[in-house]
Amino acid sequence: MPDMLQVEGVTAGYGSAIVLEDISFTLAANDSLAVLGRNGVGKTTLLVTLMGLTRVSRGRLRFDGRDFATLPTHARARSGLGWVPQERFIFPSLTVDENLGVVARPGAWNVKRVYDLFPRLEERRRNLGNQLSGGEQQMLAIGRALMISPKVLLLDEPSMGLAPTLVESIFDTISSIHAQGTSILLVEQNALMALNVASRGYVLQSGQIILADTAANLAANEQVRQAYLGEI
């Protein structure tokens, strides 16, 4: 499969502060990748770097065969890079319908398909963003990202703040999105849930990739789970 995303020797951060150092990985078309590690190791910074919101001092970024290191954030989204940020950033004064419609672009995904994926959102389609529960807001954040018909979907801590039963549902949905042809790059504290939906995993520590393996091997390695994934 061709690579959709290529990150080569990227060093990036905020202002003069370096957060990521010499990061390299690839994400193939129709593949799924989990980025794991404890809090504060640079996982979120990796995603916002891909969206153009940090200063890249070294390295190359290629998306769908073209260099995109200098593209602004909106151009990256239009190229097919979807982003579900940790903070969700839904529009609180717009309805669910309006949140979805305001970013819609022609492509494989539309409002009907999003509502098929999230029937609860269709029930709440006339409600404002600030009238939704945390779980409904997460559904909306994912649905809104899908409305650009992304080739790659970046998800930052989709389980954060959700009840365990809802977390399982969200990860089932992520698996479904991947099965329908979208490449997935998932940052997540819940390591085992993330590795269940990914084919490969990378472990970050202090802004560097220290481990890379298949998801199955990482999930089965007790020492890795205890030392780097915050499990006991």
Q: Which of 72, 60, 61, 53 is nearest to 5 (CA)?
A: 61
Q: Which pLDDT band holds residue 2 (cuts at 50, 70, 90)?
A: confident
Instruction: Determine whether 74 is exposed, middle or buried from the number of CB atoms within 10 Å of its CB (0-12, 13-18, 19+).
Output: exposed
For residues 110 and 147, the answer to whether their CB atoms sit within 8 Å is yes
Residue 185 pLDDT grade (very low, low, confident, very high; cuts 50, 70, 90) = very high
pLDDT band, residue 182 (cuts 50/70/90): very high
**pLDDT for position 226:** 72
1-80+151-158+185-232: CATH topology is: Rossmann fold (3.40.50)
- Give the other-Cβ count within 10 Å of 135's Cβ: 17
- 208-214 β-sheet, strand order: 81-84, 152-156, 183-187, 32-36, 200-205, 208-214
Q: Per residue in 105-120, pLDDT tens?
A: 999 999 999 999 999 9
User: Residue ranges of the domains in the chain?
Assistant: 1-80+151-158+185-232
Instruction: Indicate the pLDDT class of residue 23, thresholds 50, 70 and 90.
Output: very high
Q: What gap in Å lies between CA 69 and CA 165, rounded to an integer?
A: 39
Distances (CA, A) of 162 to 29, 133, 139, 157, 158: 29, 10, 11, 10, 9
- CA dist list (Å): 121 to 8, 170, 194: 39, 13, 24
Cα dihedral 35, 40, 44, 45, rounded to 10, equals: -110
Q: Does 232 score more than 60 pLDDT?
A: no
Q: Average model confidence (pLDDT) for the chain?
A: 93
pTM, rounded to two decimals: 0.93
* Listed range (37-41, 151-155, 175-179, 221-225) with the worst mean pLDDT: 221-225
Nearest to 157 by CA among 133, 117, 186: 186
Residues 59, 61: Cα–Cα separation, whole Å: 7
User: What is the arithmetic mean of pLDDT over 91-112?
Assistant: 95
- Phi and psi at 132, nearest 5°, equal -95, 150
Q: How far apart are CA 23 and CA 35, in angstroms?
A: 12
- Alpha carbon 52 to its chain centroid, in Å, reads 14
Tell me, what amino acid is at 54?
A: T
DSSP 8-state class, residue 128? B
Q: Phi first, then psi: give them for residue 211, nearest 5 degrees.
A: -145, 140
Task: Tell me the CB-side half-sphere exposure of residue 167, using CA atoms within 13 A.
Answer: 15
